[in-house]
Amino acid sequence: MPRVWGPLLITQMRRLGVDSIPISLFLAVFTGIVLALLASNIFTGAVPLYFVGALVAKTIMMELGPVLTGMALAGRVGANIAAELGTMKVTEQIDALETLAIDVHAYLVVPRVVAATLMFPVVTAMAVAVGVVSGWITATSLLDLSTPEFFKGVRQFYHFKDVWFGLLKSASFGCAIAIMGSLTGLRTQGGAEGVGRATTRAVVLGCEAILVLDAFWALILL
Amino acid sequence: MIRFSSVEKRFGSKTVLDGFSLDIPDGRTTVLLGYSGSGKSVMLKHIVGLLDPDEGTVEVDDQIVHELDRDALATLRGTIGYVFQFAALFDSMTVAENIRLALENRRLDEDAIVARVDESLQLVDLSDAGDRYPAELSGGMKKRVGIARAIALRPRYILYDEPTTGLDPVTAAIMDELMVRTKRELGVTGVVVTHDMRSAFTVGDRIAMLYQGRVRQVGSVEEIKATDDPVVRQFIEGRATLT
């Protein structure tokens, strides 16, 4: 089976992963800014301000980085897969593959699912890094907080588990989004309207899967 | 040989095939006539296992298609070329890549694949179109590429789904000539689904009429032309009423 999907994997990793980096980093920048400002607003007077660093890093690594990136990519990647496969379905290209004795799942679904599972953690890791840097720049430029204080907060509550927990979640999100997109795409019926319905459904199911998986991993690993 | 035995197929409450039986002999081209929406394409899809019958059986070379396991079905599909109504070309690939894809699973070496692609394009008079994308082709050219892709595997059977629908008369005549040439040069058994009478009489050795889910009449071109069945006569003469 790898003979079928192997050569397609790199293409899908670029399309689903690399091409998703800009939107993910855009989200991360503003998430970092808002988190830093929100933390300083909450902590005013009650908690030392260097806790801003802890909150920004911890929250982005464990929750907002994976989940917000996942939600954005549920729209971008899930919709992309469903629309592409849905269009292939209604134009009989899927039937054509089958008549050529090509395994549709090995040829179309597996490379997308593997690519999303491998690339979501990479994109999320970049988003986390950018989000923390964004929070740091916000804290040092808009709040009364120095760089050493910010990173004192980051270090004080950091555990390696924060990193792998977030990346593991994002891998599961990628897998779920690609499966939802593929299945809804392959079940498309009814022309352009059907493709629209499948695309919407893929995004909704992808977002729901993210929320369920997020709760699942929290219950299992925290 | 392809054999339909009392095939029934329903979609929801609509019965499309209702006791459909037909033998399609080897080495000849059998044309299935019928009104739009009468189930002609549904019948074709049963031959390659894209659809399974609700009742009855479809046999290809004495194998019951819907009982085959995945590997056996893939092997069977390798012996059948399918030309889709709207060509169903992979639009992200060039013409040559469309044909290559059919061959890459066949453990052929690179030279053999390139030769087979060139040969298939030559047979449909599109030798210079290999680098073009489907979006750059006319409707007739797309259908010819569909034939090239179908014959690239050197199938024993070719199924044509409405091969001349939507084409101008000249292009339709070219398609007819191509189907006749394909049969002559490759010796394949053809199954053509159409409601184009001129095409049916040009390419068909045998003609069957599908009506209300079953075969109304089957016979040679001459027999069909001379039929006194009012339903078949109405269809071949293109009259609005039976009388």
Task: Kindly determine whether residue B74 and residue A95, on different chains, have CB atoms separated by under 8 Å.
Answer: no
Instruction: Tell me the percentage of chain B whose pLDDT exceeds 90.
Output: 73
Mean pLDDT of B11-39: 93
Please indicate if any CB of chain A lies within 8 Å of the CB of B82. Answer: yes
CB < 8 Å to A93, chain B: 88-91
Residue A184 is predicted with a pLDDT of 96
Residue A24 in tokens: 């993910």
B35 contact partners, CB below 8 Å, separation of at least 6: B195, B211, B235
Note whether B86 contacts A: Cβ–Cβ < 8 A: yes
Instruction: Select the residue from B41, B42, B50 to test the A interface by mutation, using most A Cβ atoms within 10 A.
Output: B50
Cβ contacts from A onto B, under 8 A = 49
Query: ipTM of this predicted complex?
Result: 0.89
Measure in Å the smallest separation between the Cα of A40 and chain B Cα atoms. Answer: 51
Nearest Cβ partner for A99 among B48, B90, B91: B48
From the list A154, A128, A134, the residue with the least C-alpha distance to A52 is: A154
Q: Residue B167: pLDDT band by 50, 70, 90 thresholds?
A: confident
Taking contacts as CB-CB distances below 8 angstroms, the residues of chain A near B85 are 92
B51 → chain A, closest CA residue: A95
Q: Is A1 on the interface with B (CB under 8 A)?
A: no
Confidence of residue B95 (pLDDT cuts 50, 70, 90): very high
Between residues B95 and B185, the one the model is more confident about: B95
pLDDT band per the 50, 70, 90 thresholds, residue B82 = very high
The rounded mean pLDDT for chain B is 92
Q: Determine whether the interchain pair A100/B77 forms a contact, defined as Cβ–Cβ distance below 8 Å.
A: yes
User: pLDDT confidence of A85, banded at 50, 70, 90?
Assistant: very high
Kindly tell me if the per-residue pLDDT of A2 is higher than 50: no
Give the mean model confidence (pLDDT) for residues B76-89.
Answer: 93
Q: Mapping DSSP to helix (H, G, I), strand (E, B) and coil, where does residue B9 land? A: strand
Q: For residue A78, what are the CA distances in angstroms to A21, A168, A177, A199, B196?
A: 15, 19, 6, 8, 42
Between chains, do B90 and A96 touch, taking CB under 8 Å as contact? yes
Look at residue A1 and tell me whether its pLDDT is greater than 50: no
Q: What is the pLDDT of residues B101-146, one digit of tens each?
A: 888 877 788 899 999 999 999 988 899 999 999 999 998 899 999 9
Q: How many CA atoms lie within 13 A of B29 on its CB side?
A: 28
What does the pLDDT read at residue A40?
Answer: 84
In terms of Cα–Cα distance, which of A141, A204, A145 is closest to A176? A204
The answer to whether residues B210 and B16 touch, using CB atoms and an 8 Å cutoff, is: no
Distance (Å, whole) CA B180 – CA B160:
12
Per-residue pLDDT tens digits for B32-75: 999 888 899 999 999 999 999 999 999 999 999 999 999 999 99
